[in-house]
Amino acid sequence: MNLLKKLEKQKLKEMKVQKDLEEAKEEKGRLYTVSVALPGSVLDNAQSPELRTYLAGQIARACTVFCVDEIVVFDEQGEDVKSVEGEFRGVGKKGHGSVQLARILQYLECPQYLRKSFFPKHHDLQFAGELPRDTRDLSRVCVAALPNCTLCWLAPGLLNPLDSPHHMRLDEAAEYREGVVVDRPSKPGKGSLVNCGMKKEVRIDRQLQAGLRVTVQLDGDQNPDSKVKKGTVVAPHLPRTRSGLYWGYTVRLASCLSAVFTECPFKEGYDLTIGTSERGSSIDQASLPSFRHMLMVFGGLQGLETSVDFDPNLQVADPQLLFHHYLDTCPGQGSRTIRTEEAILISLSALRPKIVSANGATSTSQDT
């Protein structure tokens, strides 16, 4: 009897230790990042502007669902594309899908209340209007296809919203919010005003240039009678590293496959790289080491081999020499081909438990 009590007491003690560890991890947040790279040529196979837009939306949704922190769009045809200026020139005009894909990805990541400030009318975004979160509320679908519409320039809603944690509702209580610095003079000694998508603007702790997008941490104690709220500008990664919140992705354009690696925004580079191909090793036997910055690279219509062949900076014939792991993420596939947007979902889903295990994190919705 005493032995049973001791065992029960020991079990309760172990459960308390485990709970304390989990709480500590939740408070610490997520320190590692996950990046995805894919060629912009995936849009070349779509047969209409509407389908290209919808395909880009599928990629954005997949990366958001699995908490991807960075999306790199590279040009496997070798044309030097480093900005989102310009237009997608249509099917058959290779090398410009990267620009349109990057622009749509950026547009979808941006909270709805900020898009007017950062995305002027552009041909690439004509079908990027979102469906309402509640599809029964048809009155919220954009109807800018009407010639006399003056409210906005987007076509009727085509894309599903990302509904990411940083896409806040008007009255949603939150510690962090994304905002844009408004063009309004402030008194000496006072910070700029920021539109954070609320009824009241936020007075931040410093003067910043109008038009900048900022991440704001709202003060815990707010005066309900004040005309403005108070907050502090923080680094965009802070919601992730301190609170474990997924805070959207950044988009980077790379002129070729090798630039995906050489232009890495992290000082220490990617310490874990994964290539995906049906010619790779089965993911079932793979295990991942602990990492800080993971990069997963997907090929286009002809696979990663074509991307390597087109890159003049790569002197290798075998793509797997570029990566720590070269994996077949869908062994025994029933179709001869897996589309890139399908491969992203399959691969991130298959790798998720391995990523969580490698970083010793609990399996919650905000882990990866």
- Residue 261 in domain: yes
pLDDT of residue 305 exceeding 50: yes
275, 354: one domain: yes
Q: What are phi and psi of 181, to 5 degrees?
A: -70, 125
Q: CA 246 to CA 107: how far, in whole Å? A: 17
Same domain, 86 and 205: no
Claim to verify: residue 127 and residue 42 sit in the same structural domain: yes
Both 39 and 121 in a single domain?
A: yes
Whose CA is closest to 366, among 218, 165, 217? Answer: 165
Q: How far is CA 334 from the centre of its chain?
A: 29
Per the document, the length of the chain is 368
pLDDT at 27: 56
| Nearest-10 Cα torsion for 249, 253, 257, 261 | -60
Residue 310 has a pLDDT of 86
In a domain, 22, yes or no: no
* Nearest of 172, 234, 165 to residue 198 by alpha carbon: 172
* Domain end marker among 235, 257, 275: 235
Pick from 13-17, 186-190, 213-217, 312-316: least confident: 13-17
Amino acid letter for position 221: D
**Strongest mean pLDDT among 128-132, 157-161, 217-221:** 217-221
The answer to whether the CB of 324 falls within 8 A of the CB of 272 is yes
As a whole number of angstroms, the distance between CA 185 and CA 121 comes to: 27
Q: What is the mean pLDDT of residues 73-79?
A: 80
Residues 77 and 138 in one domain: yes
- 3-state class (DSSP) for residue 216: strand
Is pLDDT at 153 greater than 80 in this prediction?
no
Domain co-membership, 211 together with 259: no
Q: Is residue 11 a part of any domain in this protein?
A: no
State which of 235, 259, 283 marks the end of a domain. Answer: 235
**Any idea what DSSP says for residue 135?**
T
* pLDDT level of residue 191 (50, 70, 90 thresholds): very high
Nearest in space to 109 (alpha carbons), one of 73, 85, 150: 73
Does 14 map to a domain?
no
Q: What are phi and psi of 166, to 5 degrees?
A: -90, 0
pLDDT exceeds cutoff 80 at 134: no
Query: Does the pLDDT at position 149 exceed 90?
Result: no
User: 22-70: per-residue pLDDT in tens?
Assistant: 554 555 789 999 999 999 999 987 888 889 999 999 999 999 999 999 9
Q: Which of 93, 82, 115, 39 shows the shortest CA–CA distance to 309?
A: 39
pLDDT value, residue 104: 94
Which tokens sit at 227?
């005309």
Chain centroid offset of residue 21 CA:
28
Across the range 221-235, mean pLDDT stands at 92
Residues 79 and 128 reside in one and the same domain:
yes
The boundaries of the domain holding residue 227 are: 176-235
Residue 347 is predicted with a pLDDT of 96
Boundary-marking domain end, from 235, 263, 286: 235
Residue 24 lies in a domain: no
Task: Say which range, 37-51, 169-183, 287-301, has the weakest mean pLDDT.
Answer: 37-51
The answer to whether residues 195 and 265 belong to one domain is no
Q: What is the CATH number of the domain that holds 322?
A: 3.40.1280.10
In a domain? residue 192: yes
Measured CA to CA, the distance from residue 277 to residue 306 in angstroms comes to 12
What confidence category does residue 14 fall into, taking pLDDT thresholds of 50, 70 and 90?
low
pLDDT interval class at 157 (50, 70, 90): low
The residue written with tokens 């975004």 in the block is 125
- Provide the whole-model pTM: 0.81
Task: Considering only CA atoms, give the Rg of the chain.
Answer: 23
More confident residue, 270 or 363: 270
Cβ proximity of 128 and 154 under 8 Å: yes
Residue 145 lies in a domain: yes
Domain co-membership, 286 together with 153: yes
Q: What is the mean pLDDT of the chain?
A: 83
For 81-99, what is each residue's pLDDT tens digit? Answer: 455 454 444 333 444 789 9
Same domain (yes/no): 203, 288: no
Give the H or E element holding residue 178: strand 176-181
Q: In this structure, are residues 215 and 230 in contact, taking their beta carbons and an 8 Å threshold? A: no
Question: What's the pLDDT tens digit per position in 323-350?
Answer: 999 999 998 889 888 889 999 999 999 9
Residue 137 falls within a domain, yes or no?
A: yes
Name the residue with tokens 């030097």.
80
pLDDT at 94: 40
Give the percent of the chain with pLDDT over 70: 78
> Are 181 and 154 part of one and the same domain?
no
Better-scored residue on pLDDT, 298 or 309: 298
Q: Is the pLDDT of residue 364 over 50?
A: no
The more confidently predicted of residues 66 and 141 is 66
Number of domains in the chain: 2
On whether both 39 and 129 belong to a single domain, the answer is: yes
CATH number at residue 183: 2.40.50.140
Which residues share a beta bridge with 36?
71, 296
Closest listed residue to residue 345, CA positions, set 64, 97, 101: 64
Query: What percent of the chain has a predicted confidence (pLDDT) above 90?
Result: 55
